[in-house]
Amino acid sequence: MTILDKIIAHKAQEVAQRKEQVSVQVLEKSGFFAKTNNSLKTSLLNPASSGIIAEFKRKSPSKGIINGNVTVEEVTAGYVKAGAACLSVLTDFEFFGGTSEDFLKARRTNPTIPMIRKDFMIDEYQIIEAKSLGADVILLIAANLTPQRIKDLGKLTKELGMETLLEIHDEEELNRSLNQYIDVVGVNNRNLKNFAEQNVNASLELAEKIPAECIKISESCISQAETIKLLKSVGYKGFLIGETFMKTENPAEALKKFINEVRS
């Protein structure tokens, strides 16, 4: 059993439980349902954008605790102030230490920046739940979804006025998973089945295989400003970074320095 299998098995149980606790009707009454969305696509296409999607991540299966001393409000507000193009907030508790409450706090603190609900989506219920939390972007991970499920979940995402970020790790996942509902393609440099990689080779290898009309971003294992320059040179518009900032005492300050280095 891979780590991803374990995560998905746990997620299925968790979603079944939550469905019993909170009905879709209650989710649809959330004040965020009627709100307009902030577009990740628009943000990344702005030439003045840093392209950096800054993640709030307390822990991970591969690293354990990354940071247990900061609040989601201070970090995300600081990320926005430092120039993040988008925020990513984990809501998986079991493996990443995130909660829906974290997402809500980040949303209330930062109403006008695009926000990705970062979780393992397997069920329509979670998409509706994400909308009720004020999410703008849904992550769909090709490694754990069939092409048909990616289509179904992508279609609902669009119907609810949000955008879809499709995460792939190799060419096979890319070829079977693209469809008309995908707004942004993300190459995860880290293989979720074993959490092994520490480099951005996957992004470099897939750059030219992703159709030119797709907006592409590179995810995970980015720690150097030089790497951003390299990824930009092969066409990446966005860069999803968590640990590099989160492992410092002041993640927002670390992002600010990083953006300065990329621009220098």
Ligand X SMILES: O=P(O)(O)OC[C@@H](O)[C@@H](O)c1c[nH]c2ccccc12
The residues annotated as belonging to the active site are 55, 57, 118, 167, 188, 219-220
Any contact of residue 221 with ligand X (CB under 6 A)? Answer: yes
CB nearest ligand X: which residue?
A: 242
Instruction: Please pick, from the candidates 11, 57, 58, 169, the single residue that binds ligand X as defined by CB under 6 A.
Output: 57
3-state secondary structure the chain: CCHHHHHHHHHHHHHHHHHHHCCHHHHHCCCCCCCCCCCHHHHHHCCCCCCEEEEECCEECCCEECCCCCCHHHHHHHHHHHCCCEEEEECCCCCCCCCHHHHHHHHHHCCCCCEEEECCCCCHHHHHHHHHHCCCEEEEEHHHCCHHHHHHHHHHHHHCCCEEEEEECCHHHHHHHCCCCCCEEEEECCCCCCCCCCCCHHHHHHCCCCCCCCEEEEECCCCCHHHHHHHHHCCCCEEEECHHHHCCCCHHHHHHHHHHHHHC
Any contact of residue 126 with ligand X (CB under 6 A)? Answer: no
Site string for ligand X, 73-112 (x = CB under 6 A): ----------------------------------------
Positions 17 through 56 that interact with ligand X (CB under 6 A): 55
Instruction: Please pick, from the candidates 11, 58, 117, 118, the single residue that binds ligand X as defined by CB under 6 A.
Output: 118
Any contact of residue 169 with ligand X (CB under 6 A)? Answer: no
Closer CB to ligand X, 23 or 194, in the complex: 194
Kindly list the residues in this chain that would bind ligand X in the complex (CB under 6 A).
55, 57, 118, 141, 167, 188, 219-222, 240-244
